[in-house]
Structure 1
Amino acid sequence: MEETSTLPLPDAFLDFLNENGLDPSIYTATDSTPRYIRLKPGCEACVEEIEAEIKCKLEKVGWLPDFFSLPPDIQIANSNAYREGKIYGIDAASGAAVSALNISEGDHVLDLCAAPGAKLCMILDLLGNSGTVTGVDVTRHRLAACRTLLQKYALGDRCRLFVADGTTFSLIPVRVHSDSKSWVQDPELIFYGQHSGVVGLSKRELYQTVCENDASSCGYDKVLVDAECTHDGSIRHIQKFEHWGWKTLQRRVLNAERTDSLTVLQLQLLSNGFRLLKVGGSLVYSTCSLTVAQNEDVVERFLLENASAELQDVEAAKNWPCRSGRIWKTLRFDPLTSQTSGLFVAKADAASVAVSMMLRNSNAESSHCRVPQRYNKPNPALASWQIRSIGFSSTKAIEMGLEYFLFHDTLYTMTIETELLPQAKLVLLEL
């Protein structure tokens, strides 16, 4: 019979869970969530050998290819399979975040918060024999751990790693050529593979930066922003505070000032990742926090500030054991629902045409801007708006589908002509 233990949670943490609408039982049944591994492609025939070595059966995860679950008390770090690079230690929820990108062979992928590297390795395995991956992390020793993983699993051929601030990183994929801008300080390139696109480049070519007007064509096909967070969704992380002391939890997780600074950082990372995304590309934002402030609130603010961004369905999620977030199309994993660690996932893409400011209402009040909602009916308030410019023909507008949203005192739209207003599919903001 499987043993369970009850983690004694302090009152301050229980209050924190209550404020965020989180079920405390997520944290109290601490030994029921499986451990997960991912099998390296090409090692499918090794499953029985691995089972014999670790003395337990690997249960295939039906909703996530190449993933297996095993009892939480099984250690893999000292196994031959792990030392020889046949398996990876990675939670299934983390694998789902990578899977949500829907990586195709030939993609140029940016992992903006790459350390410690398990997701980076999965991206490279999915990429196949063409395309490139750029990994970025602000901490050199953590990125060095990524480099070690790439070398261990022989995955470095199409990858380059930069020590850089993800909120300001601006280097474009090396497949393209454009005018370069000067950096105040070039990011440190600590690793590159033979087919990463770096070999043979001059420094000027290597450090080409993205410009506002060329991001749409020169950016990355896929961007992963697995942002720094309080890690409150990681049950094993919370367990550690029983040994570190609950005062440490107060400082690292419950401290309001730390949370505020993190949400600012998360929004900056998300916004910069989107800035580096090419038109038609996809971005996934994820955190291992379960709080609304670090997830839905960040995504909501991002959508308000980035008119061309739109949340997308994760097609594979139809078969995933997760639930919807508080914003349409976002996903949440947790131990009770998913039998995984906690994780939030949102997927966005860049519209094929940049959203442009079309209308302005001098009477609108910014305090009325709250949560985006969709309507399939015209908004009577549009009658008071003034058309300032027309960007596209009515034919093109119908092809694309009209979209509007209100931000502060401005109504933004992809395209519009007066007679089409009643037919518009609206995205408005409720009080």
Structure 2
Amino acid sequence: MTTQSFPPKFTQWLADNGVSIKDYEEQESIPRFIRVNPSHITETFAKELNTELTPVSWLPGLRFYSLDAKMKISGSKGYESGEIYGMDVSSGVAVHALSIDPEDHVLDLCCAPGDLQGNEDSVTGTVTGVDISKARIATCKNVLRKYKMRRFRLFDADGTTFNVHAPSRVGRWTRPTGQIAVPELDSDDDTAKGDQDTIVTIPSKRKDDTPNAPPTKKKAKVVPKVKPYLATKLVIGDPQIESPALLYDKVLVDAECTHDGSIAHLKKCDAVGWEKFEENFFDPVKMDALETLQRGLLSNGYRLLKPGGVLVYSTCSFSRRQNEGVVEWFLKENSNATLEPIPNAEKFPLAPSLDGNPTNMLRFSPSGSGTSGYLSRE
């Protein structure tokens, strides 16, 4: 792919959005990135692939390595066994920004292709993945099984209206602090049975909790149980209680976007023709609908987030409207939300920010970062 093949309207759009054409001219110099399962040794993979694996020093802890861009990992023993997997390091920044603690319950509202699949070593809580596309959710299912995740559930659902709260039960373990009274459910039809109550223990990390206060008994709202597309044994028995005490600790909204920051996506457009890309990218009705979707995903993710929790919004677009514009709108609508700095961001190889960017929003680009185009904010 060469930039000379870009449609003139797209080239002008890049200039209008402060995107350097160099971000696409330097595509061949971008290395390939992989993540490595923590229980395995990287030297084994380097020997098998017959290439050097270079640790990504600026994003420690997530086991990212770079290798030659032309190197194929599919078909290798490590890839087939789930010990290594391909993932651009810019996507790893969004996972890093979540700052996942061991007991956290994490919601991934646009979960395909499964950026959180390699994080279960650091999660003793759960990960709930949501995607409206049956094809993408099927991809996530395959990833889940391949990497042997044990605390994961997937829902084929609309992320703008999804309303299943964090699990109160993981296997035989129930969350240990605070108590809530839940109407007894009929095991056959999940309907409320009389006025009998079952006490379910759950934690709450709300800022106004009083340490050592006696548990309070509150009625939880009983809603029809939503059947997961797939759930592992440890979380399939969750009763799906709807309660303010069962909101998620962390939420990732890696939103649907125009993918103009993805070199791989633009290569496909270049190969098959730019007509469909131009039809979607420059159609004002479709762009309005996309913006509405992005706002809806961000708003619903925030609604399902605990007070004091962390939400990360990201895209693989360079569009100001899809990034800074969405975040600015959200902050105006939610005065109690604040942009927080992403840990260790001062060490990241960032692309230049746009003039007037809200603080604590990070941009990545091929020329500025040596990665695919990506934006992340916390």
One fold, TM greater than 0.5? yes
1:148 is matched with which residue? 142
Secondary structure in 2 matching 1:221: strand
Q: CA deviation at 1:245?
A: 0.1
Aligned partner (choices 332, 347, 350) of residue 322 of structure 1: 350
CA distance in 1, matches of 2:92, 2:226: 28
The aligned residue for residue 333 of structure 2 is: 305
RCO comparison, higher one (Cα < 8 Å, 6+): 2
Q: Is the 8 A contact 1:39 1:87 kept in 2?
A: yes
Equivalent position of 1:428 in the other structure: none
Say if 2:27 and 2:366, in contact at 8 Å, map to a contact too: no
Alignment partners' CA distance in 2, 1:221 and 1:315: 17
TM-superposed CA distance for 1:56, in Å, is: 1.3
**Helix, strand or coil at the partner of 2:312:** strand
Between the aligned partners of 1:230 and 1:308, the Cα distance in structure 2 is: 29
CA distance in 1, matches of 2:156, 2:95: 21
1:124 aligns with 2:120: yes
- Which of 48, 51, 57 is the matching residue for 1:56? 51
Note if contact 1:7-1:27 (Cα within 8 Å) is conserved in structure 2. Answer: no
CA distance in 2, matches of 1:42, 1:139: 32
Q: How does 1:419-430 map to 2 (within 5 A)?
A: none
* Contact 1:7–1:239 under 8 Å retained in 2: no
Q: Is the 8 A contact 1:322 1:334 kept in 2?
A: yes
Aligned length: 325
Q: Which TM-score applies when normalising by structure 2?
A: 0.82
2:242 match: 209
1:54-98, Cα deviation, whole Å (9 max, x unpaired): 221111110123100111111111111100111011000000110
Query: Secondary structure at 2:29's aligned position in 1?
Result: coil
Q: Specify every segment of 5 or more residues in structure 2 that has no aligned partner in the other structure, as ranges.
A: 169-174, 181-218
Aligned to 2:151: 158
Check conservation: 2:106, 2:250, Cα contact below 8 A.
Answer: yes
Alignment check: 8 A CA contact 1:331 1:345 kept: yes
**Alignment deviations for residues 398-430 of structure 1 (CA, whole Å, 9 cap, x no partner):** xxxxxxxxxxxxxxxxxxxxxxxxxxxxxxxxx
Tell whether the 8 Å contact from 2:26 to 2:367 is kept in structure 1 after alignment: no
Structure 1 residue 5: deviation in Å?
A: 6.1
What's 1:100 paired with?
97
Compute the RMSD of aligned alpha carbons.
1.8
Which consecutive unaligned segments of at least 5 residues does structure 1 have? 348-431
Measure the CA separation in 2 of the matches of 1:162 and 1:7.
Answer: 42
- Asked whether the 8 Å contact 1:7–1:30 carries over to 2, the reply is no
TM (norm. structure 1) is 0.72
Tell me whether 275-284 or 246-255 shows the greater mean CA deviation: 246-255
Give the Cα separation in 1 of the matches to 2:242 and 2:132: 18
Deviations 1:4-42 (A, max 9, x none): 966632211101111211111111222111110001111
Which residue pairs with 1:411 in the alignment? none
Cross-structure match for 2:197:
none
For the pair 1:169 / 2:162, whether they are aligned, the reply is yes
Residue 192 in 1 paired to residue 231 in 2?
A: yes
Deviations 1:324-368 (A, max 9, x none): 451111110111111000111110xxxxxxxxxxxxxxxxxxxxx
2:220 to 179, 183, 186: 179
Q: Please name the residue that 1:259 is paired with.
A: 287
Corresponding residue of 2:367: 336
**Range with bigger deviation, 220-229 or 11-20:** 11-20
Shift, 1:187, TM fit: 4.1
Q: Is the 8 A contact 1:54 1:76 kept in 2?
A: yes
Q: Give the number of the structure whose alpha-carbon radius of gyration is greater.
A: 1
| Alpha-carbon distance change, 8 to 141 in structure 1, aligned in 2, over 3 angstroms | closer
How far off its partner does 1:48 sit? 2.2
1:222 aligns with 2:219: no
Cα distance, 1:148 vs structure 2: 1.1
Match of 1:76 in 2: 73
Change (3 A) 1:7 1:154: farther
- After TM superposition, give the deviation of residue 260 of structure 1 in Å: 1.7
Superposition misfits of 4+ residues, deviation over 4 angstroms:
4-7
Kindly provide the CA deviation profile for residues 259-314 of structure 1, in whole angstroms up to 9, marking residues without a partner as x: 22111100100000000000111000000001100000000000011121111000
> Does the 8 Å contact 1:6/1:29 carry over to 2?
no
Q: 1:42 aligns with which of 36, 39, 43?
A: 39
SS of equivalent to 1:97? helix
Secondary structure, counterpart of 1:309 in structure 2: coil
Deviation digits for residues 140-192 of structure 1 (CA, Å, limit 9, x no counterpart): 2311211111111111x111111110000111112275622546xx6441211
Matches of 1:7 and 1:75, distance apart in 2: 28
Query: Are 2:134 and 1:137 aligned?
Result: no
Partner in structure 1 of residue 213 of structure 2 = none
| Offset of residue 126 of structure 1 | 2.9
SS at match of 1:302: helix
Q: Distance in 1 between matches of 2:374 and 2:320?
A: 12
Question: Hey, what does 1:381 align to over in structure 2?
Answer: none
